[in-house]
Chains A and B, each alone.
Chain A
Amino acid sequence: SQQGEEDPQALSIQEGENATMNCSYKTSINNLQWYRQNSGRGLVHLILIRSNEREKHSGRLRVTLDTSKKSSSLLITASRAADTASYFCATATFRNFNKFYFGSGTKLNVKP
Chain B
Amino acid sequence: GAGVSQSPSNKVTEKGKDVELRCDPISGHTALYWYRQSLGQGLEFLIYFQGNSAPDKSGLPSDRFSAERTGGSVSTLTIQRTQQEDSAVYLCASIGRPNTGELFFGEGSRLTVL
Residues of chain A whose beta carbon lies under 8 Å from any beta carbon of chain B: 3, 31, 33, 35, 41-45, 48, 88, 90, 92, 96-105
Contacting pair B45 A33 (CB below 8 A): no
Residue from A43, A96, A99 in contact with B91 in the complex, judged by beta carbons closer than 8 Å: A43
Contacting pair B102 A33 (CB below 8 A): yes
Contacting pair B91 A42 (CB below 8 A): yes
Residue from A35, A99, A105 in contact with B45 in the complex, judged by beta carbons closer than 8 Å: A99
Contacting pair B101 A92 (CB below 8 A): yes
Residues of A within 8 A of B45 (CB): 99-102
Contacting pair A100 B107 (CB below 8 A): no
Contacting pair A88 B43 (CB below 8 A): yes
Which B60-93 residues have C-beta < 8 A from chain A? 91, 93
Residues of A within 8 A of B33 (CB): 100
Residues of chain B whose beta carbon lies under 8 Å from any beta carbon of chain A: 4, 31, 33, 35, 41-43, 45, 48, 50, 56, 91, 93, 95, 98, 100-108
Do most interface residues of chain B lie in helix, strand or loop, or is the interface mixed? strand
Q: Which residue of B lies closest to A45 (CB)?
A: B102
In Å, the complex CA distance between A45 and B103 comes to 7
Residues of A within 8 A of B31 (CB): 98
Residues of A within 8 A of B108 (CB): 41-42
Closest chain B CB from A92 CB (angstroms): 6
Contacting pair B48 A99 (CB below 8 A): yes
Whether A97 touches B98, Cβ cut-off 8 Å, given contacts A42-B107, A102-B35, is: yes
Return 18 A-B CB contacts under 8 Å, by A number. Answer: A33-B101, A33-B103, A35-B103, A35-B105, A42-B91, A43-B43, A43-B91, A90-B43, A98-B31, A98-B98, A99-B56, A100-B33, A100-B103, A102-B43, A103-B42, A104-B41, A105-B41, A105-B42
In Å, the complex CA distance between A45 and B25 comes to 16
